[in-house]
C-alpha cells in the first residue's frame, strides 16, 4: 500500500489495521520463551525486506530478546556483511539452503545473539531468471549450529507483499516450533 497523503497514514494507525497484521499472541509467546531461556535473536532478511524484524519488534519487551537485524537484498551486501561466499552466491543468485544457513550463523555472530534467523528467496516470480514459483530458504542457527533449515513455499498468484507476509508467518512458526521443543 502506497500512501498518497499523511491522512491515509493516520487512517491506517487510527483504525489499527497496521497493528492487526501481526499475530501478537505468537510474537509475545516467542518473546516469553526467549526471555525464559535467556537467549537473544538477530535476523538477516532478503525476500521479506525487514518484515520479520518488524514483527519481532512488536513484542512486549522486545529489547529483552531482539538484538536487531539486517536487510540484505543483493549478493554484494550478503558477502560484505555476512561473509557469504560471492562465487557460490552468484551461481545461485544468493538463494539456497547453504546461503540461508550461512546468513543465520553470521547474523547471530554480528549481533552477539545466541540465535540467528535468516531468509532468502523469491517472493514473486522473476521472469528474467525463469523463476515461476515463490519460495524461500529459512534457517535458524543457535550458537553457530543450524537447528532449522528448510525451503518454504509462497504462492505465485499472490502479490509480493502477500508472499512476504506468508514467509514472515512461516518464519515465526518455525521459530516458535524450535523454542517449544527446548
What is the reported pLDDT for 3? Answer: 43
Domains of the chain by start residue, with CATH: 23-181 (3.90.950.20)
pLDDT for the residue 86:
87
pLDDT tens-digit map of 68-116: 999 998 888 998 999 998 898 888 989 999 999 999 999 999 999 999 9
Gap between the Cα atoms of 14 and 16, Å rounded:
6
Q: Computed over its alpha carbons, how large is the radius of gyration of the chain?
A: 16
Count the Cβ atoms, other than its own, within 10 Å of residue 29.
16
E strand intervals along the chain: 41-45, 66-71, 115-122, 135-142, 145-153
Could you tell me which residues are beta bridge partners of residue 149? 139
pLDDT band (50, 70, 90) for residue 22? confident
**pLDDT at residue 10 tops 60:** no
Residue % of the chain over a pLDDT of 70 = 89
- pLDDT value of position 139: 98
For residues 25 and 49, the answer to whether their CB atoms sit within 8 Å is: no
Supply 107's cell numbers. Answer: 547474523
Confidence of residue 5 (pLDDT cuts 50, 70, 90): very low
Taking residue 83's Cβ as centre, other Cβ atoms within 10 Å add up to 14
Calculate ∠ Cα 46-70-63, nearest 5°: 130
Cell of 101: 544457513
Q: Which residues contact 179 (CB under 8 A, 6 or more apart)?
A: 30, 33, 34, 37
Q: Cell numbers at residue 21, please?
A: 497484521
Place of cell 539456497: 96
pLDDT at 56: 97
Full-model pTM? 0.88
Average pLDDT over residues 156-170: 95
Amino acid at each position: 500500500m502506497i500512501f498518497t497523503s499523511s491522512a491515509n497514514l493516520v487512517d491506517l494507525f487510527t483504525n489499527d489495521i497496521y497493528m492487526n497484521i501481526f499475530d501478537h499472541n505468537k510474537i509475545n509467546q516467542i518473546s516469553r520463551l526467549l526471555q525464559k531461556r535467556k537467549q537473544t535473536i538477530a535476523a538477516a532478511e532478503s525476500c521479506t525486506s525487514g518484515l520479520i524484524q518488524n514483527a519481532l519488534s512488536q513484542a512486549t519487551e522486545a529489547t529483552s530478546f531482539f538484538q536487531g537485524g539486517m536487510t540484505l537484498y543483493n549478493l554484494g551486501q550478503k558477502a560484505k556483511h555476512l561473509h557469504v561466499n560471492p562465487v557460490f552466491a552468484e551461481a545461485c543468485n544468493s538463494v539456497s539452503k547453504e546461503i540461508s544457513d550461512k546468513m543465520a550463523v553470521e547474523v547471530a555472530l554480528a549481533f552477539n545473539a545466541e540465535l540467528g534467523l535468516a531468509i532468502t528467496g523469491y517472493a514473486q516470480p522473476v521472469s528474467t531468471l525463469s523463476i515461476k514459483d515463490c519460495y524461500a530458504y529459512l534457517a535458524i542457527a543457535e550458537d553457530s549450529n543450524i537447528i532449522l533449515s528448510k525451503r518454504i513455499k509462497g504462492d505465485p498468484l499472490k502479490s509480493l507483499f502477500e508472499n512476504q507476509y506468508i514467509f514472515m508467518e512461516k518464519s515465526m512458526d518455525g521459530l516458535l516450533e524450535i523454542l517449544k521443543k527446548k
